[in-house]
Structure 1
């Protein structure tokens, strides 16, 4: 078996050394609290001892770790005391990702992660191999995986051909039997008037039926020929202008986490900064001295600065994450590379794609740009619970053409919910506004804030909010696809082929039942996360929901039969 890069021994030694460093220290401190002869000063000796034990274990782990690429599987063996041997069949491999952090890129190292279909985590991870070895492993595993898929498809085609041939033979037999029972049917004669003699196997001419022809040895040689080397074909490059637009027109939730991280480790510095910046606008001179008005100004200024810092962090994070984004095609899979500080290289198997989603926010809609995401039936370290970006941002018309060419979906003509749904949203947002006013009133009873009634200004936003919610909901029931649109701040237009539908649920709340409405939830085999939820058609007529429910079930069965007969993947990766 092959070993990891020698620097992996150093990495593992340091990793386990710092883990084992704390074990004897905690043990000594705990024993010292119980037994008087044991002193807490012994940690000076216990800590280096644990460090050495951990280093030795890390080096042993390196020498006990091996991997090998065989004809049928990827074999990985690991473990010092408890050994684990894994044989990963190529037919189960979904993705081979390469990840490089800043230090790994400086040392020309990489982490190779092997993902399997439906897995919740990496099936195997090689930490670390050389960059050249990582590229070799990724290329070879992809090629062998493609060969397995091709053999599987060929077997299905052969079985379909054999079934059709058997049916043809049965029909011919039935016809022959019918002809023999007819007394007026004469034997075919040659020019001499004699019946045509039977032909031997070597004398069969070109008109011989397919099931009587001899097998062509060259055809078998071609069918068993090795899979050609897969070449990468470029499909989409994120240009500098598009990268900047994407960075400035999107917001990453991770930026809020970064802001909390800064505030946690520099609380006093951040608070003093807020006080200093709020003073010119009437804020307090310090945190100890001030009145209700100055503290209110400090709160407003602090909130504005926090949002601004989070936005700047989001822009930087998005720019570094999608820097030099490239989408390509290798065989029947999408492949992508991206990243400035941390470089990613992965793939999106076309046969695992469950749905296609076009996303945009209000700012991106104003400049007529949108993004394209794919939902896959599996896990990847570079995905949001199965959602992966195929095109981060491009002109909206170009993204729509990508989607239509990728899925074959016809141009949708969206249907809207009934107008009673807009009334429902108006009532819902009015209740939210009333809660905000009630909270402001409650705050005024325990603080010096007296103008609680100013919070009633939120009622002004209720009608436009209800209208925007309503007009951005739509659905289209096509011949082969279901298209669902929803959302305002992040509008999602999802295209779901019928053969990818797992379940369709009709849900009705108490308020929906009173209005004769229902929501239709369409689930696929893709993983769901906090960011990406199930595709839902909101607040449509109950009869329409039932019709779509029944129609989806019927077209699902029809689509599955058609795909089984044609052996179609359902998607075309050539969508430029």
Structure 2
């Protein structure tokens, strides 16, 4: 691979002009779609067609001119003297973004369909605490993109390593180069069949909700016809004329929507473990390639549900350092993994292993509070029926209420039993979930603070709510005995003060 010199300001690949122009046209069409549809379906005279054609030609020329200027003014380089990555962009005003090497967290790749066609990559530089959360260069060749990412991550690692007392520099090659690429230590590809199984066992009721919302929106706007409207207002007639088949149809379409969404989002999901990085690539419409280093991982979650567990399907969510409130935006989700691969991922991120010394359970008052809150809807309905007793039959109400109470109590009981906080010398592990079962792993040295809150009625019972803060998100644990967790809190606060390991 040629040794690319990034010390001098340089532009994107020449074909990037096509991408900029296409993006510009897309934004114009999205903002003017009403006018486009109007002219498409209206019978226009020759003069109007001529004027509309002239306007379209003018817009195309202006858009092309803007795209050329944007392409020419978009430059980037590596400033070794000031130890930063510099990016300049803008047409009417010039923005210069300076990112110190030590602020660079990740350098990832993205590709949409057009970028695949013209053979370019988007290089996304994710940062922490700088003026921009992420900086994107949308059109670089694969070779140049790999070289830039490699140099940026190498310089970022060197800068951070200088601040570590033992001065151990991690390996520089965060992204394997396009040529002469070393073989991965292990690799796992998620098959199409696995993604289909995942989609079928996921929350397909969301797809049903989308269909129902679309259906009733159309009904509200257009009211269909009088015959259909009458059927919709008469449940008995509706059910006798294929209502059950319609419900089954909705469920099937909802499942298909969820399967399709899963296939598009996670198509080609591939994990490759190299010496110092775990490379994750996925996506059909928007292909993303992320390189994860163990030193960047702040919080790790492992999720499954009973059906997926029987099929050996697990999901791993990896939270990176973020300065934003919306931490989901900085989370990498890897789905459809068997238990063996989940263990390999955990072993890479946590070389010391994860062993729990003991667990803490919440107070029984948590179960009491959840059941009490679950009874509030019944109380509201009861008050309503006092004033409107003619609305429903009493026997029907009692039957529905009994089923609701039983299900609500059972659900909250299992929620209470599953909620536990595991403690070890190096880890906090939070267990939770009834249907979607979740385990969250947080290394103690990555803790930034521990919050202890006590509302008035918590205080009277000697209870508190714990919040463990990290750069990758917070881990909450509600309603626990303060006397029981005080020794743990003392230990955690001590570790926060004395640890010398860099948390990112």
Q: Same fold (TM over 0.5)?
A: yes
Q: 2:124 aligns with which of 101, 105, 113?
A: 113
* Corresponding position: 1:470 with 2:479: no
- Using the alignment, how far apart are the partners of 1:387 and 1:346 within structure 2? 11
- Partner secondary structure for residue 400 of structure 2: helix
* Corresponding position: 1:251 with 2:199: no
- Partner secondary structure for residue 414 of structure 1: strand
Relative to structure 1, the CA distance from residue 20 to residue 322 in structure 2 (aligned partners, 3 Å threshold; closer, same or farther) is: closer
Relative to structure 1, the CA distance from residue 352 to residue 442 in structure 2 (aligned partners, 3 Å threshold; closer, same or farther) is: farther
Match of 2:440 in 1: 494
- Using the alignment, how far apart are the partners of 1:318 and 1:522 within structure 2? 32
Relative to structure 1, the CA distance from residue 405 to residue 142 in structure 2 (aligned partners, 3 Å threshold; closer, same or farther) is: closer
- Using the alignment, how far apart are the partners of 2:385 and 2:292 within structure 1? 49
- Using the alignment, how far apart are the partners of 1:516 and 1:500 within structure 2? 28
Relative to structure 1, the CA distance from residue 569 to residue 461 in structure 2 (aligned partners, 3 Å threshold; closer, same or farther) is: closer
Aligned positions of 1:251-270 closer than 5 A: 251=203, 259=211
Q: Shift of the alpha carbon at 1:477?
A: 2.1
- Using the alignment, how far apart are the partners of 1:55 and 1:516 within structure 2? 68
Q: Shift of the alpha carbon at 1:370?
A: 2.7
Instruction: Say whether the 8 Å CA contact 1:518–1:545 is kept in structure 2.
Output: no
Match of 1:2 in 2: 10
Instruction: Say whether the 8 Å CA contact 2:104–2:156 is kept in structure 1.
Output: yes
- Using the alignment, how far apart are the partners of 2:130 and 2:385 within structure 1? 48
- Using the alignment, how far apart are the partners of 1:438 and 1:416 within structure 2? 36
Q: Shift of the alpha carbon at 1:94?
A: 1.3
* Corresponding position: 1:363 with 2:301: no
Deviations 1:101-154 (A, max 9, x none): 12221222222211112469653212223334333333343344344445554x
Q: Shift of the alpha carbon at 1:344?
A: 1.0
* Corresponding position: 1:394 with 2:337: yes
Aligned positions of 1:5-404 closer than 5 A: 5-16=13-24, 48-71=57-80, 72-118=83-129, 122-153=133-164, 156-157=165-166, 231=182, 233-240=184-191, 242-251=194-203, 259=211, 286-289=228-231, 290-294=233-237, 305-330=249-274, 332-378=276-322, 384-389=328-333, 391-396=334-339, 399-400=342-343, 402-403=345-346
Instruction: Say whether the 8 Å CA contact 1:120–1:378 is kept in structure 2.
Output: no
Match of 1:481 in 2: 427
Relative to structure 1, the CA distance from residue 256 to residue 134 in structure 2 (aligned partners, 3 Å threshold; closer, same or farther) is: farther
RMSD, aligned α-carbons: 4.4
Q: Shift of the alpha carbon at 1:356?
A: 2.0
* Corresponding position: 1:455 with 2:391: no
Instruction: Say whether the 8 Å CA contact 1:436–1:455 is kept in structure 2.
Output: no
- Partner secondary structure for residue 10 of structure 2: coil
Match of 2:376 in 1: 431
- Partner secondary structure for residue 370 of structure 2: helix
- Using the alignment, how far apart are the partners of 2:75 and 2:203 within structure 1? 42
Q: Shift of the alpha carbon at 1:553?
A: 0.7
Q: Shift of the alpha carbon at 1:465?
A: 1.0
Q: Shift of the alpha carbon at 1:58?
A: 1.8
- Using the alignment, how far apart are the partners of 1:73 and 1:305 within structure 2? 57
Relative to structure 1, the CA distance from residue 271 to residue 358 in structure 2 (aligned partners, 3 Å threshold; closer, same or farther) is: farther
Q: Shift of the alpha carbon at 1:377?
A: 0.7
- Using the alignment, how far apart are the partners of 2:151 and 2:265 within structure 1? 27
- Partner secondary structure for residue 230 of structure 2: coil
- Partner secondary structure for residue 124 of structure 1: strand
- Partner secondary structure for residue 324 of structure 1: coil
Instruction: Say whether the 8 Å CA contact 2:301–2:438 is kept in structure 1.
Output: yes
Relative to structure 1, the CA distance from residue 432 to residue 89 in structure 2 (aligned partners, 3 Å threshold; closer, same or farther) is: same
Match of 2:179 in 1: none
Relative to structure 1, the CA distance from residue 453 to residue 394 in structure 2 (aligned partners, 3 Å threshold; closer, same or farther) is: same
Q: What is the TM-score when the length of structure 1 is the normalising length?
A: 0.67
- Using the alignment, how far apart are the partners of 1:379 and 1:315 within structure 2? 33
* Corresponding position: 1:422 with 2:373: no
Instruction: Say whether the 8 Å CA contact 1:486–1:493 is kept in structure 2.
Output: yes
Q: Which runs of 5+ in 2 are unaligned?
A: 1-8, 36-47, 177-181
Q: Which runs of 5+ in 1 are unaligned?
A: 27-38, 161-222, 276-283, 528-533, 571-576
Relative to structure 1, the CA distance from residue 245 to residue 438 in structure 2 (aligned partners, 3 Å threshold; closer, same or farther) is: farther
* Corresponding position: 1:554 with 2:494: yes
Relative to structure 1, the CA distance from residue 367 to residue 418 in structure 2 (aligned partners, 3 Å threshold; closer, same or farther) is: farther
Q: Structure 1 stretch 358-367 or stretch 336-345: which is displaced more?
A: 358-367
Q: Shift of the alpha carbon at 1:516?
A: 4.2
- Partner secondary structure for residue 385 of structure 1: helix
Q: Shift of the alpha carbon at 1:539?
A: 2.4
Relative to structure 1, the CA distance from residue 476 to residue 18 in structure 2 (aligned partners, 3 Å threshold; closer, same or farther) is: closer
- Using the alignment, how far apart are the partners of 1:356 and 1:467 within structure 2? 26
Q: Shift of the alpha carbon at 1:440?
A: 8.5
- Using the alignment, how far apart are the partners of 1:76 and 1:473 within structure 2? 47
Relative to structure 1, the CA distance from residue 243 to residue 513 in structure 2 (aligned partners, 3 Å threshold; closer, same or farther) is: same
Q: Shift of the alpha carbon at 1:330?
A: 5.0
Instruction: Say whether the 8 Å CA contact 1:111–1:126 is kept in structure 2.
Output: yes
Instruction: Say whether the 8 Å CA contact 1:9–1:58 is kept in structure 2.
Output: yes
- Using the alignment, how far apart are the partners of 2:172 and 2:190 within structure 1? 37
Relative to structure 1, the CA distance from residue 54 to residue 404 in structure 2 (aligned partners, 3 Å threshold; closer, same or farther) is: closer
- Using the alignment, how far apart are the partners of 2:120 and 2:195 within structure 1? 27
